[in-house]
């Protein structure tokens, strides 16, 4: 994302807890901020993407947090998948600093980003969305305004639950075909060229043949999103039966010591339960 902003001609100041992980971006022209506060103070628009609600609170609060670096006229955009309630509370704190906030989680992964197909769902005030749109479109071609603060976070949670559910359904069909006598590679090829092959299934489906050395989105991260979805479902009286079942399969993955694997490891979990190595 930073590389795309740099390529679009923007001046970017960045911060990460481990500076060495940002070295390639520093080599590409990114400036360094010693704290999240320093980044927010240096920028007209500050963007953050962290693992969960707790991490968002950590990076925004305190004397070195983003809130401390915001002032009148600045825009703060968080792209994390976190609790909608946390976003709404944070937006109030940003407003108190004289700045404006958007929640803008993304649909896609590092693969989608590299293909130039990343998309945003954006919550907040529409006029702030219009101001921020050029920055978002420098990263990904599509940004859809969905409503007030927290609604983009809700939309992202609603989107992400389907990813895990789809992966489990793909795994069920694949395992059924394989145990009936069809080679796994052949079954994967057929499924990835069938009507059920969503963009996510097309790039993650091959992981059942060769898991990536480093997870794109691991079991713990996906389960965090499913738990957010289940909590929303409880609050809004929306039954989420397939989400609940998939969540239990992710718990099984953790019990098998597979928490650090990409959530495509759901196939391995199901295969072990079916007695197949």
Catalytic residues: 156
CB-based contact 159:136 (threshold 8 Å): no
Q: Rounded distance, CA 26 to CA 13, Å? A: 9
CB-based contact 37:68 (threshold 8 Å): yes
CB-based contact 108:118 (threshold 8 Å): yes
CB-based contact 102:164 (threshold 8 Å): no
Q: Rounded distance, CA 194 to CA 55, Å? A: 39
Q: Rounded distance, CA 238 to CA 223, Å? A: 18
For tokens 């600093």, the residue is 97
Task: Count, in order, helices (H) and strands (E) of the chain.
Answer: 14, 8
C-alpha 100 chain-centroid distance: 22
Residue 54 tokens read as 């707790």
Q: Compute the C-alpha angle 59/79/221, nearest 5°.
A: 80
CA 208 vs CA 34, 166, 182, 205: distances in Å: 41, 14, 15, 6
Reported residue count of the chain is: 277
Q: Compute the C-alpha angle 59/61/62, nearest 5°.
A: 110
Q: Rounded distance, CA 150 to CA 132, Å? A: 17
């Amino acid at each position: 994302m930073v590389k795309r902003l740099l390529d679009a001609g923007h001046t970017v100041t960045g911060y990460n807890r481990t500076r060495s992980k940002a070295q390639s971006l520093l080599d590409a022209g990114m400036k360094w901020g010693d704290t999240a506060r320093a980044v927010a103070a240096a920028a007209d628009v500050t963007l953050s993407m962290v693992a969960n609600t707790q991490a968002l609170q950590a990076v925004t609060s305190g004397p070195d947090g983003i809130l401390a670096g915001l002032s009148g006229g600045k825009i703060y955009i968080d792209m994390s998948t976190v609790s909608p309630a946390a976003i709404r509370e944070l937006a109030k704190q940003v407003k108190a600093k004289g700045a404006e906030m958007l929640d803008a989680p993304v649909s896609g992964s590092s693969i989608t980003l590299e293909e130039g197909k990343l998309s945003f769902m954006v919550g907040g005030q529409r006029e702030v969305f219009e101001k921020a749109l050029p920055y978002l479109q420098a990263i990904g071609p599509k940004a859809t305004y969905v409503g007030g603060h927290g609604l983009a976070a809700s939309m992202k949670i609603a989107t992400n639950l389907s990813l895990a559910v789809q992966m489990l359904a793909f795994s069920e069909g694949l395992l059924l075909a394989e145990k009936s006598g069809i080679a796994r590679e052949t079954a994967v090829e057929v499924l990835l060229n069938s009507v059920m092959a969503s963009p996510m299934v097309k790039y993650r489906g091959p992981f059942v043949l060769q898991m990536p050395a480093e997870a794109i989105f691991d079991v713990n991260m996906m389960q965090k999103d499913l738990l957010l979805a289940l909590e929303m479902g409880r609050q809004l009286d929306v039954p989420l039966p397939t989400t609940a079942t998939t969540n239990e399969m992710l718990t099984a993955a953790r019990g098998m010591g597979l928490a650090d694997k990409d959530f495509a490891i759901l196939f391995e979990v199901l295969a072990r339960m079916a007695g197949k190595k």
